[in-house]
Structures are given as structure tokens and as C-alpha cells.
Amino acid sequence: MASPSQARPMSYTAQRYDFRDKPGDYARLAQDLSGLLAGESDRIANAANTAALIFAALPEINWAGFYFLRGTELVLGPFQGKPACVRSMLGQGVCGAAAVQRRTLVVPDVQKFPGHITCDAASRAEIVVPLLEGGTLIGVLDVDSPRAARFDEADARGLEALAALVVTASAARPGR
């Protein structure tokens, strides 16, 4: 394995996705992400590339990123989009609710979600996937859209698969 100071070649080739076949497009996106994560165990680097890939690939989104658990708070990690809220308590907002429930939450209209935390007033729909290492919560993957009802169960399954790749690439390795 290369030393941390040596650059690793990326094995990612940009693709276009139209998401008319969500399961198929998410499967191809997972292959792309696997190439990006190959040989890298640093959680922050992997989260950064994952956020960038999701933001570039998914249509009609305005934010994609990570929050990592630090004590009783979710703290902002790598993301793409406008500046975001930095911290939220477990149980607060969509991210905090998904973290506490340890399940993916698909919110068609964030304005109707009790306790929604507004970081970008343009966001109307949100999907949050908890990041679980074993049974331990390490954070969440959060994706927002300016279009109400943008996300569905196919998005949930696809984003869960991408989140699992990030967790697996970084699990029990140095550089977390």
C-alpha cells in the first residue's frame, strides 16, 4: 500500500446519469464510488469524494453531504452546496431524527416536518441516511432538493448502498 504522502491514482471516469432507471443508475453510481474509494481508508477524504459524486450525479438536488457524530451532536463534515448548519443535537431536525431512529428518512416536504432545521430556504425535500458501523452510529448522509417530493424509496435504497460503501471503506482502518 502506498504511504500517506504518495498520491494514489483515481479510478473514476465521469458519467452522465438521467435517473430514469433509478436502480440501474444507482448501481452504476455505486461502481463509480467504489472506484473513487478503492485503496483509500480516510473517512473525511472518502466523504468528500462521495458528496462531490452525489452532487454531480443526482438531478434536482441543491445539497449533499455528511454530518458526523461527536458526542451528542452531529457536526458538519464534507459537503457540496451552499454553506450549511454546523451542528445539531441528536433528535433535532431530519438529520437528528434519522440518527436517533437509525433509519433512512425520506421527507417529501421539509416545511411539514416537525422541528425541521432550515439551512437553505430553497430546500423543499430531504433524505437522510444514517451511517452505521456495526451497530454504532457514526453520522448521517444528507441530501436536499429544491423540489418537493423529489426523493422516493428507490433513492433511499440507492443512497443507502452508497453510504454503506463509505462506511465499509473507512471501517476499522487508520486515518478515520
What is the predicted pLDDT for the residue at 122?
Answer: 85
Q: Which three cell numbers stand for residue 10?
A: 483515481
* CA 125 centroid distance within chain: 15
Give every CB contact of residue 116 below 8 A, 6+ residues apart in sequence: 93, 94, 107, 110
Report the number of secondary-structure helices (H) and strands (E) in the chain: 4, 6
Q: Do 50 and 90 touch, CB atoms closer than 8 A?
A: no
Evaluated on CA atoms 131, 168, 15, 154, the torsion sign reads negative
Amino acid 115: pLDDT: 81
Characterise 113 by phi-psi region: left (phi > 0), alpha (psi -120 to 50), beta (else): beta
Match 471503506 to its residue by C-alpha cell.
169
Residues of the chain with pLDDT under 50: 1-5, 172, 174-176
pTM for this model (two decimals): 0.89
The answer to whether residues 166 and 46 touch, using CB atoms and an 8 Å cutoff, is yes
What pLDDT is attached to residue 119?
Answer: 82
